[in-house]
A and B are shown apart, each in its own frame.
Chain A
Amino acid sequence: MSATATQPDSSYLLRKLHSFTGLLPVGAFLAEHFWSNSAALVSAEKYNATSEELQTIPFRLIVEWGGIFLPLLFHGGYGIYIWLRGKSNVSAYPWVGNWLYLAQRYTGIIAFAYIGWHLYTERWLTHGKSTYANVAEDMQNPWYLVFFIVGVLASSFHLGVGTWNFLCKWGLAATVKAQQAAGRFGAFVGVAFSVVGILIILSFRFDWHPFSAYLPTK
């Protein structure tokens, strides 16, 4: 409560870091992840080639830990701390922004739990050498399938709302009009990620490769 403080408080910096890591690198990684996995929409071979390419990147452990795991852990962990310090009130004030505030917390925890499980099954158990066959086999389990769908939708929603929050909270969309536009952009991000994510799941589940026509004919 010091009025003479000239340096920002650590809670300020952590909060900003939380907001920033949500987009970079966590959101950016989700985009990369969906992009790479979209290879399954072409063919199983293409997916395996893409997967192998990623598995053999230089400095892999540093990139994985520094660029993905640690930022994700921080974003999720600090997010839970933020949740505990808020007190939702949608029943008294059922406005869209207030619902999004609440949904952002629930989708965050669902996505966090899903990602933990996803890392365990597709990264840990496969020793980082997951193949098309591994994932396709997991997708045959109806419980896995449902959890994949829920996880993809929660992550996409969280990123969409998070994009809107980021643009508002960093003052990049300040006026009412700009914030409405940012909201539409966030909705687009959420829907686009959901659609692509579900298509990838369907590809694995039904061995469906809608872009196989891109392959050269033999």
Chain B
Amino acid sequence: MSETKQVMVKVKRQAGPKEAARWEEFSLKWRPSMNVIICLRDIAENPVTRDGKKTTPISYDSNCLEEICGSCAMLINGRARMACSALVDQLEQPIRIEPMSKFPLVRDLIVDRQFMFESLKRVKAWIPIDGTYHLGEGPRVSPEIQEKGYPLSNCITCGNCLEVCPQVNEHNQFVGAAIISQVRLFNMHPTGAMNKSERLSALMGPGGIQECANAQNCVHVCPKGIPLTESIAEVNRDAWKQALLGWLVG
């Protein structure tokens, strides 16, 4: 073996949504604290495959490099995770890097997560505070709700929870755990609660909360440690109360 440690990387490449996919192998120089994004950068710097063939830099999304922007989610050794926090020293080699499979592919490792943003719009995942006049101060948020809400507000819309969910697939338009958890967040806020029933109604439409089948994979892969299964259970309770008891007790 040579004196410099090498890192073996296999990347699934695809020039466009309709092009054929292929694998390319790279041998990179090891560096301390190396993560998968650094591997992709090193390849961009010198886009030559392991067998010496010149290729193009790999397209990928990334931004913050500290697990806070949500853009670099991909499949690493077959599992959905953030590439920035995937440390090379902790990964089995060759490291297999693929785009997420549940979102439309754009190019190489870039996927289009518009579905999640549309879902957030569908459930009104915000608190309306704008008016044509000054609305005044809102109600105070109790420390208890602040404490419950803060972890939920950490969601970075990375899409890992959708990627690992057996109920998210081409037959099923399930919105996924992240969106349900956001509904919980905005419904628990005293101002947000004014739109609670609208959010719940949106979640009881096609692809809504009913599609969850309790496999609970989502909570294992959330990079922010959001209690997603708890969120789903809480929102489920509010939803059926509204749907099944609403006409009885209001």
Q: Which B residues touch A143, using CB under 8 A?
A: none
Instruction: Write the nearest CB–CB distance from A82 to chain B, whole angstroms.
Output: 7
Residues of A within 8 A of B182 (CB): none
- Report yes or no: B166 in contact with A86, Cβ–Cβ below 8 A: yes
B78 and A82 contact, CB distance less than 8 A = no
- Of A1, A84, A97, A171, which is within 8 A of B233 by CB? A171
B214 on interface, CB distance cutoff 8 Å: yes
B216 contacts A98, C-beta separation under 8 Å: yes
Identify which of B169, B201, B207 gathers the most chain A CB atoms within 10 Å of its CB. B201
A170-B202 contact in complex given A3-B121, A175-B230, C-beta closer than 8 Å: no
A173 near B166 (CB under 8 angstroms)? no
For A, the interface residue count at a CB cutoff of 8 angstroms equals 39
Docked Cα-Cα span, A2 to B232, in Å, equals 21
- In the complex with contacts A1-B205, A171-B234, A176-B230, A86-B216 CB distance below 8 A: no
B116 to chain A, nearest CB (A): 14
Q: Is B164 an interface residue (CB 8 A)?
A: yes
Contact for A86 among B164, B167, B205, B207, CB less than 8 A? B167
At the interface, yes or no: A101 with Cβ under 8 Å from chain B? yes
A8, A9, A173 — which one has the most chain B CB atoms within 10 A of its CB?
A8
Check if B212 is an interface residue, CB within 8 A of chain A.
yes
Considering only CB atoms, which chain A residue lies closest to B241 in the complex? A171
Find the B residue at minimum CB distance from A99: B215
Given A12-B205, A97-B217, A169-B236, A3:B122 Cβ within 8 A: yes
Report the Cα distance A11→B203, complex, angstroms. 11
Q: Is the CB of B229 within 8 A of A9?
A: no
Q: Which residue of the partner chain, among B78, B79, B208, contacts A9 with CB atoms under 8 Å?
A: B208
Please give the residue numbers on chain B whose beta carbons come within 8 Å of chain A beta carbons, in ascending order.
78-79, 121-124, 164, 166-167, 169, 171-173, 197-198, 201-202, 204-217, 220-221, 227, 229-230, 232-240, 243-244
